[in-house]
Amino acid sequence: MTEERNWHTHRDAKNARLASASSLLNGKFAKTEDVVKVLNTLIKPGDKVVLEGDNQKQASFLSEALTKVDPDQVHDLHMIMSSISRPEHLDIFDLGIASKMDFSFAGPQSTRVSQMIADGTMTVGDIHTYLELFGRLFIDLIPNVVLVAADKVDREGNLYTGFNTEETPTIVEAAAFHDGIVIVQANEVVDKLPRVDIPADWVDVVIPADKPYQLEPLFTRDPQAITELQILMGMMAIKGIYAKHKVQTLNHGVGFNTSAIELLLPTYGEQLGLKGKICRNWELNPTPTLIPAIESGWVESIHSFGGEVGMEKYIAARPDIFFVGKDGTMRSNRALGQVAGQYALDMFVGSTLQIDQWGNSSTVTNGRLSGFGGAPNMGSNPTGRRHSTPAWQSLKPDDDPLAKGQKLVVQMVETFGANKKPVFVDHLDAEEVRKEAKLANVPIMIYSEDTTHIVTEEGIAYLYKTDSMEERKAAIEAIAGVTPVGLRSDPKEVKKLREAGIVALPEDLGVRREDAKRSLLAAQTMDDLVEWSHGLYNPPAKFRSWS
Amino acid sequence: MRSLWLMPGQGGQKARMLAEVDPELKAQVETWTGVKLLDTEEGYQDSQQIQLSILLLQVEQIDQLQQLGWQPDLVAGHSLGVFGAAYAAKVIGKEDVFKLVALRAKLMQDSCPAGYGMGVIVGLSRPAVKKLVEQVHADDNPVYLSNQNAEMQNTISGKITAIQSVLELAKENGAAKAKLLKVPNPSHSPLMAAAAKKLQEFLQTLTLQAPECIYLTNFNGHATRKLQDVAYDLGNNLIHPVYWETMMQVALEYEPTVSCEFSPGTAFTRLLKAKMDQLQTVTLETMSIDDADFLFNKWEKK
């Protein structure tokens, strides 16, 4: 007879670890000052550890504590993080506590990430899109330990994560139902929660934090910084893309270009008679620049990946628009937001640092392995989808009875970026970065085949209409201005492309450059936004010009 | 408060810049090195005078700030500035650092055949400049891509004839500025190998300590706390480009809240402020130690 297999080794291991930490725990609660001891005891060498950190919310108390564990006891951790945002996220590699990383975004730490990969301090599993990373938490990157952040916890260990729920439930679920250990830092311990976002059953250890978790107001754009060039591009996009394709459901990237569009809807959009016809349902963080459009009745609904500092009261007062609990505070969800962003939308509009001659784009530039945020999921065409919306159908070729529509993926860029560097280049820096960092794939953010439109201050290229790569290249050259790529453009070819509707210049769209004035923005200052919100929006200190 | 201390290299020296330096310290430096510091325009035609005088300015400022209780969290020196940076990080003692720099300056002078130098190109990316350098470089007409001062500002080092060819090409390719620098050495290139070797030998006779803060290396733009990296940088930065842009990117990723630029000059603060406008900055070229102390105290409380 064969020996019977033990089918609950994970559970046994988890129980043994928790038992060894029992002297540090009172129920689920550990003392703030014992945090390093708790981590030293509960984390074992080689563990897969999710450390919560996205582009807004950071489990900063736990990440700082992780740098203080004893590398002789805790080493070779395999970190899984959607965003590498804080210095200590990399210090644990310098200290020998961690050795491998799977991640999505590393914008704020991208130079050190590049260096650590090059010198072997860090090995990279993959650079994922958000959904690949979240998905793999349930497949082959199932965590042993997760370190997450909550706003409030009650005496039983139920969690309130509120506006900034983001990816906390997804991370916790991956551990809680596969015998991983769930460790939570909490800003506050209370008797009664506003609502339960994550049940106590899923939580193993709660540690009150010494200070509230770090939270960045990442999606706040001051209207004062919007330029007339961006207003021109916004007008072109509204007329030549939003109206043309009757875009009703959409996501905007974080740039000033899309802020300009948000502020043009109640003015320019209204003049064009587009209200109610476009931009009704959004997957979007609560960007303050959308307040005027909401207040003027353009917006039906907004689901959000995360919160935005200062928008709390405004959101609470607009439950018809936002996803708000009975308690009056918003609930965000990054995983569901990304699903919606990839599958449920007519259009994604974003920006980038480089676009190559074929139309591939990337924010990975020389020496900076930034990874990507939501763009690769939202900026890709889910080919299995079968939408009936006017926008999706409008991209369907009419010469094939079995043809499918396509999601609109729009890149809005000025031909020269910060530092006067050309955005249009023959080859992405990402190609070199792949070699240097020995990556399996070139870190392209949005592939050419998924990009349907590019908007610059010169005009719009309708790439989805091109029949060949040669034509696609010519369309890109036509709107690439005086960059090396743009200088190759042939005026005769541009004329043909304009006639075919593959390229549109402002005059082809009936947009007059001289009309692109700041006075066209529904709000021109942060103060205007506060006024539009009836005093409900409370800008973070760094965006306030008054005190 | 997390502070980043910046030490510039040659270029900002000017006559009478040592006027307010403690005469005792100055005399001591002269004794240690056997070099009389003239602090005149004429004197600053000489590399040893320049290097020792700038180091003297920086060492005095470092001493004054450290006596007031201020320590850096991160230090970065540009070229000659690495010696001030290593001193601030307590890697090397005062007497040793002056002796080391005296030797470095002498080796640079001695290894200086006529017809070599450096040029600067503004407005082209580093890979673009690299291509131009590769077009011109030959064994008998050598030129190398050297310092990376900013993303679109790089220097080249080598034979003047080769430098001039690259500068011409750079202008043809749209560089906003491409000109020869008043530097008599092909610094930060492999042409300095002999000098670097002798400097290394002298370094091995010194007792060095691991840095007490994060040190940003010239030779590869990394942050380090290891003595061997700092020692390598001190001995060999002459043969490598200064990766200043990378050093600053890395420094900012450590989220400093305050920067302090030591004399002479204020250029690095301007470059840094353009990258991160929320950074609080002090430039000792334009502020007294008392002012710096007052501001640090104010920012520390926040």
Cα distance between residue B272 and residue A431, in whole Å: 28
DSSP character at residue A145: E
Q: How many other C-beta atoms are found inside a 10 Å radius of the C-beta of residue B197?
A: 14
For residue A453, the cross-strand partners are A410, A462
DSSP assignment string, A77-100: EEEEEEE--SHHHHHHHHTTSEEE
Q: CA of B247 to nearest chain A CA: how many angstroms apart?
A: 9
Q: Which of B172, B122, B177, B112 is nearest to B151 (CA)?
A: B122
Query: Chain B contacts of A429, Cβ < 8 Å?
Result: 127
CB neighbour class for A383 (10 Å; exposed up to 12, middle 13-18, buried from 19): exposed
| A108 part of contact set with chain B, CB < 8 Å | yes
Q: CA of A249 to nearest chain B CA: how many angstroms apart?
A: 35
pTM of the model: 0.92
Kindly report, residue by residue over A98-112, the tens digit of the pLDDT: 999 999 999 889 999
Say yes or no to pLDDT of A400 above 90. Answer: no
Say yes or no to pLDDT of A89 above 60. Answer: yes
Percent of chain B residues topping a pLDDT of 90? 90
For residue A25, the cross-strand partners are A30
- Per-residue pLDDT, B174: 87
Cα distance between residue A181 and residue A43, in whole Å: 9
Cα distance between residue A506 and residue A495, in whole Å: 14
Alpha helices (H) along chain B: 23-33, 47-67, 81-88, 94-110, 126-136, 160-172, 193-203, 227-236, 244-253, 267-275, 289-301
Say yes or no to pLDDT of A544 above 60. Answer: yes
| A492 part of contact set with chain B, CB < 8 Å | no
Angle (nearest 5°) at CA A328 between A323 and A334: 35
- Per-residue pLDDT, A166: 95
Kindly report, residue by residue over B143-175, the tens digit of the pLDDT: 999 999 998 999 999 999 999 999 999 999 989
Tokens representing A509 are: 């769209």
DSSP character at residue A116: H
Residue A545 — pLDDT band, cuts 50, 70, 90? Answer: low
Contact A111 B249 (CB under 8 A): yes
Kindly report, residue by residue over A247-261, the tens digit of the pLDDT: 999 999 888 999 999
Q: Collect all residues from B whose CB is shorter than 8 A from any CB in A.
A: 123, 125-127, 151-152, 220-223, 246, 249-250, 253-255, 278
- Per-residue pLDDT, B56: 98
Q: CA of B86 to nearest chain A CA: how many angstroms apart?
A: 21
Segment A317-322 shows an average pLDDT of 98
Cα distance between residue A203 and residue B46, in whole Å: 69
- Per-residue pLDDT, B277: 84
DSSP assignment string, B128-197: HHHHHHHHH-BTTB-EEEEEEEETTEEEEEEEHHHHHHHHHHHHHTT-SEEEE-S-SS--SSGGGHHHHH
Query: Chain B contacts of A432, Cβ < 8 Å?
Result: 127
Q: Which of B107, B101, B97 is nearest to B187 (CA)?
A: B107
Residues in chain B: 302
Segment A532-546 shows an average pLDDT of 88
Query: Chain A contacts of B220, Cβ < 8 Å?
Result: 115
Cα distance between residue A70 and residue A76, in whole Å: 12
- In the numeric block, the tokens 């890149």 are attached to A411
| Span of A35-49, A126-140, A393-407 with lowest mean pLDDT | A393-407
**Residue extents of the structural domains in chain B:** 3-111+190-301, 116-180
Say yes or no to pLDDT of A547 above 50. Answer: no
Three-state DSSP class for residue B67? helix
Q: Which CATH number fits domain B116-180: 3.40.640.10, 3.30.70.250, 3.40.50.1820, 1.10.10.10?
A: 3.30.70.250
DSSP character at residue A242: I
Residue A369 — pLDDT band, cuts 50, 70, 90? Answer: confident
Say yes or no to pLDDT of A8 above 90. Answer: yes
Name the helix (H) or strand (E) containing A35.
helix A35-42
Cis peptide bond N-terminal to B264, omega within 30: yes
- Per-residue pLDDT, A546: 53
- Per-residue pLDDT, A24: 98
Q: What is the mean pLDDT of chain B?
A: 95
Cα distance between residue A56 and residue B76, in whole Å: 30
- Per-residue pLDDT, A447: 97
Contact B223 A367 (CB under 8 A): no
- Per-residue pLDDT, A477: 98
Kindly report, residue by residue over A33-58, the tens digit of the pLDDT: 999 999 999 999 999 999 998 878 99
Say yes or no to pLDDT of B130 above 90. Answer: yes
For residue A152, the cross-strand partners are A160, A188
Kindly report, residue by residue over A328-347, the tens digit of the pLDDT: 999 999 999 999 999 999 99
- Per-residue pLDDT, A418: 78
Cα distance between residue A450 and residue A347, in whole Å: 11
Domains in chain A (CATH in brackets) are 23-215 (3.40.1080.10), 223-520 (3.40.1080.10)
- Per-residue pLDDT, A218: 81
Cα distance between residue A284 and residue A307, in whole Å: 10
Q: CA of B265 to nearest chain A CA: how many angstroms apart?
A: 23
Termini Cα distance of chain B: 8
Residue A192 — pLDDT band, cuts 50, 70, 90? Answer: very high
User: Of B250, B255, B278, which is closest to A111 when you measure between CB atoms?
Assistant: B250
Three-state DSSP class for residue A4? coil
Kindly report, residue by residue over B202-242, the tens digit of the pLDDT: 999 999 999 999 999 999 999 999 999 999 999 999 999 99
Q: Which of residues 315-374 of A touch B (CB under 8 A)?
A: 366-368
Cα distance between residue B163 and residue A399, in whole Å: 59
Residue B113 — pLDDT band, cuts 50, 70, 90? Answer: confident
Cα distance between residue A97 and residue A45, in whole Å: 8
- Per-residue pLDDT, B55: 98
Residue A3 — pLDDT band, cuts 50, 70, 90? Answer: confident
Kindly report, residue by residue over A474-525, the tens digit of the pLDDT: 999 999 999 989 999 999 999 999 999 999 999 999 999 999 999 999 999 9
User: Of A90, A367, A419, which is closest to B152 when you measure between CB atoms?
Assistant: A419
Phi-psi group of A282: left, alpha or beta (phi > 0 → left; psi -120 to 50 → alpha; rest → beta): beta
- Per-residue pLDDT, B302: 66
Percent of chain A residues topping a pLDDT of 70? 99
Amino acid type, B298: K
Q: CA of B162 to nearest chain A CA: how many angstroms apart?
A: 26
Mutation target vs A (from B216, B247, B249; most A CBs, 10 A cutoff): B249
Report CA A477 to chain centroid distance, whole Å. Answer: 29
Contact A109 B125 (CB under 8 A): no
Contact between A468 and A497 (Cβ < 8 Å): no
Kindly report, residue by residue over A11-28, the tens digit of the pLDDT: 999 999 999 999 999 999
DSSP assignment string, A275-312: TTTS--EEE----GGGHHHHHTT--SEEE-SS--TT-H
Mutation target vs A (from B225, B253, B280; most A CBs, 10 A cutoff): B253
Q: Which of A96, A94, A100, A108 is nearest to A80 (CA)?
A: A100
- Per-residue pLDDT, A406: 95
Query: Chain B contacts of A109, Cβ < 8 Å?
Result: 253
Whole-angstrom CA distances from A134 to A167, A253, B33 are 9, 21, 63
Cα distance between residue A242 and residue A276, in whole Å: 12
Residues in chain A: 547
Name the helix (H) or strand (E) containing A390.
helix A390-394
CATH of domain B3-111+190-301: 3.40.366.10
- Per-residue pLDDT, A368: 85
